[in-house]
Amino acid sequence: MNIFVVNCGSSSLKYQLIDSVTEKVIAKGLCERIGIDGKLTHNPTGKDKFEETVDMPDHKTAVSLVLKALTDEAHGVIKDLSEIGAVGHRIVHGGEKFAKSVVIDDGVMAAIEECNDLAPLHNPANLIGISACKALMPQTPMVAVFDTAFHQTMPKKAYLYGVPYEYYNDYKVRKYGFHGTSHSFVSKRLLQLIGKESGPSKVIICHLGNGSSITAVKDGCSVDTSMGFTPLDGLIMGTRSGSIDPAVVQYLASKLDISLDEVIDILNKKSGVDGISGVSSDFRDLESASNDGNERATVALEMFAYRAAQYIGSYAAAMNGVDAIAFTAGIGENNATVRKMICSYLGYLGFELDEEANSKRGEEIMLSTADSKLKVYVIPTNEELAIARETLELIK
């Protein structure tokens, strides 16, 4: 069966069509600038890429253009829409309402809408994507896969903030965590690799990309994670500050004579390694600037690795040990320098780096030497495949 995986943003729509038997991508692509003008980039496997600048006033138009591309005679990959067995939608926020993926019905849509306040930029766009697909494929089953769901197993001591309890009760202020689909996918694979798919286990997943988060996974369940109420919390990221003293927000608003919203915008979009280095949010640029002697680029890399090592240490403490660690996402899969910098803090856990293995990138690798007590791996993440698997599981 073919599963259509949809990731709808406020002005974009990313998609993949995945064959659930072979787990191969049949086609993938992206609609950009929805509501502004519109551009479709469609990559059918084994055929030429198709690009089209075309008016996309709304997401329904974007979805219909994608479905047209998928069934087109020249660059299509299926004959008609009956070859799409199900649709899997990536949904950013499921609040406390969703601890796992669900088949979408009217009640589920209403519940996702109730979480809009928690992700005002993302959830409404995700809902528009569902409605657009439903309108064009009314008989096709649809599944919602949430970024937050995997972390719903965190205990209260991990997810509550030290603020008056009524803010949790009344306004749902708590840690939710994100990147759940990736943390779940990679932790399952890591547990396979270390032969601990059942029984007790303690692993830490480092999802290091533009957005980064680290999760402690005990016996297969998330017990703590570095992102919080929003994805701004935790690690220093490409352009996000990660955790800072909240008093800085008010202080900067006063010094710069700007609103709290504007400060939060700076913390989201102009901070992180980009803000520190003044060079770039991309770790390839940072590395080359650092190699050229740029001190701020060097300190940005050091801060990133230091904070990551702090989270690993705190989660090893929280779980009273750690069997294995996995690096994943753009930086975790590809950047040997950053991996080595983080690994340099792990000697106390009985870890030794296999330098030659670390020089590889973009594939599954064991980074630890054969004698190393702590096993460390690189495991490529694949959120679309994870969504396709969850979707298939639920509609079977």
* Residue ranges in contact with ligand ADP by CB under 6 A: 209-211, 238, 282-284, 329-331, 334-335
CA dihedral over 92, 207, 393, 202, signed as positive or negative: negative
Provide the minimum distance between the beta carbon of 265 and ligand ADP in the complex, in angstroms, as a whole number: 18
Gap between the Cα atoms of 186 and 247, Å rounded: 36
Gap between the Cα atoms of 174 and 168, Å rounded: 6
| For ligand ADP, the closer CB: 201 or 335 | 335
Name residue 167's amino acid: Y
**Residue 260: burial class (beta carbons within 10 Å; 0-12, 13-18, 19+):** exposed
| For ligand ADP, the closer CB: 218 or 307 | 307
The answer to whether 17 touches 3, Cβ cutoff 8 Å, is yes
Q: Is 323 a catalytic residue?
A: no
| For ligand ADP, the closer CB: 219 or 282 | 282
Provide the minimum distance between the beta carbon of 336 and ligand ADP in the complex, in angstroms, as a whole number: 9
Strands 102-103 and 142-146: antiparallel
| For ligand ADP, the closer CB: 228 or 238 | 238
| For ligand ADP, the closer CB: 225 or 334 | 334
Provide the minimum distance between the beta carbon of 164 and ligand ADP in the complex, in angstroms, as a whole number: 34
Provide the minimum distance between the beta carbon of 11 and ligand ADP in the complex, in angstroms, as a whole number: 16
Residue, CB closest to ligand ADP: 330
| For ligand ADP, the closer CB: 44 or 380 | 380
Task: Please identify which of the residues 147, 224, 233, 274 carries the catalytic annotation.
Answer: 147
Provide the minimum distance between the beta carbon of 255 and ligand ADP in the complex, in angstroms, as a whole number: 30
How many CB atoms lie under 10 A from the CB of residue 313? 16
Gap between the Cα atoms of 232 and 236, Å rounded: 9
The answer to whether 391 touches 23, Cβ cutoff 8 Å, is no
Strands 202-208 and 212-218: antiparallel
Name residue 235's amino acid: L
Gap between the Cα atoms of 269 and 240, Å rounded: 6
**b (16+ CB within 10 A) / e for 6-23:** bbbbebbbbbbbbebeee
Gap between the Cα atoms of 111 and 95, Å rounded: 9
Provide the minimum distance between the beta carbon of 289 and ligand ADP in the complex, in angstroms, as a whole number: 12
**Residue 24: burial class (beta carbons within 10 Å; 0-12, 13-18, 19+):** exposed
**Residue 115: burial class (beta carbons within 10 Å; 0-12, 13-18, 19+):** buried
Residues with active-site annotation: 147
